[in-house]
């Protein structure tokens, strides 16, 4: 069995001294101050003096090695003992060859597939505990935020599509109502008492103004006779008199 060690660095490869100092301050406050996390690079050492990590490159594998705690791109911070692996050096080399094929350099992503994700995977295959949560917490938080934002945008687009579809249906319905109201359709032979929406609306208005209920056909004939007699009466008589036998 052999020891597995995690080496942690502050990410200070921006090319700007001001930016590098800002990152150092962030790590100091959020990691050293409150133990939350920061912006870190990590590498795993097992068998020998080299550490193994993962980074971006346009072609080939992103898995690389360098002398432990001496990566020239970053500022070394600390080392953490993760445990001991029972695998032989031959088995460890086999695992590294597999990881080299599975982690091409062009697949590197700052939030979802970075050096810390690689070290997690390597440690899991070695049979030792994964990295402490604070090492990659900022990347996990950023990845979760990106996923939430993506889901929110998708739901917004879906809701927008549904609203547009519903609006089109409502528009067609209202257009159909307007068309029916503008033309009085002929009554069907078996439904002579039904008129167009406009006719029904007028009939209902007259019904309310007269204060009467709809009458049957015989009552309609009596009303017509009564109206003829009323025209022959003198102007002093009332213009409209209800039939005393009519249902109110």
Give the whole-angstrom CA distance, residue 228 versus residue 192: 26
Tokens representing residue 240 in the block:
């409209």
Q: Which residues pair with 4 in a beta bridge?
A: 46, 83
Give the whole-angstrom CA distance, residue 65 versus residue 71: 9
Give the whole-angstrom CA distance, residue 238 versus residue 133: 97
Q: Which helix (H) or strand (E) holds 99?
A: helix 89-102
Q: Which helix (H) or strand (E) holds 2?
A: strand 2-10
- From 115, 117, 119, 123, active-site residue: 115
Among 119, 123, 124, 84, which Cα is nearest to 2's? 84
Our answer to whether residue 119 is catalytic in this structure is no
Q: List, in order, residues 6 or more apart from 75 with CB less than 8 Å away.
A: 9, 10, 12, 20, 24
For residue 206, give Cα distances in angstroms to 71, 91, 160, 201: 95, 97, 45, 9
Our answer to whether residue 245 is catalytic in this structure is no
Q: Which helix (H) or strand (E) holds 147?
A: helix 137-182
Contact call for residues 7 and 79 (beta carbons, < 8 A): yes
- From 41, 117, 119, 123, active-site residue: 41
Question: Could you give the residue numbers annotated as active site?
Answer: 41, 115
């Amino acid at each position: 069995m052999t020891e597995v060690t995690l080496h942690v660095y502050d990410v200070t490869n921006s090319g700007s001294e001001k930016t590098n100092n800002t990152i150092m301050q962030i790590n100091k406050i959020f990691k050293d101050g409150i133990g939350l996390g920061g912006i870190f690079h990590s590498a795993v050492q097992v068998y020998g003096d080299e550490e193994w990590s993962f980074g971006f490159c346009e072609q080939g594998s992103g898995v690389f090695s360098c002398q432990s705690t001496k990566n020239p791109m970053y500022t070394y911070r600390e080392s953490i003992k993760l445990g001991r692996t029972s695998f032989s050096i031959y088995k460890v080399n086999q695992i590294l060859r597999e990881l080299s094929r599975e982690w091409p350099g062009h697949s590197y992503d700052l939030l979802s597939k970075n050096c810390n994700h690689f070290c997690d995977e390597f440690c899991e295959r070695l049979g030792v505990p994964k990295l402490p949560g604070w090492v990659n917490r900022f990347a996990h938080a950023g990845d979760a935020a990106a996923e939430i934002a993506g889901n929110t945008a998708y739901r917004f687009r879906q809701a927008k599509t549904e609203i547009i579809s519903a609006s089109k249906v409502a528009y067609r319905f209202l257009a159909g109502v307007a068309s029916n109201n503008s033309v009085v359709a002929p009554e069907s032979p078996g439904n002579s008492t039904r008129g167009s929406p406009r006719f029904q609306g007028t009939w209902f208005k007259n019904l309310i103004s007269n204060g009467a209920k709809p009458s049957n056909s015989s009552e309609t004939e009596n009303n017509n006779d009564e109206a003829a007699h009323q025209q022959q009466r003198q102007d002093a008589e009332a213009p409209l008199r209800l039939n005393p036998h009519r249902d109110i």
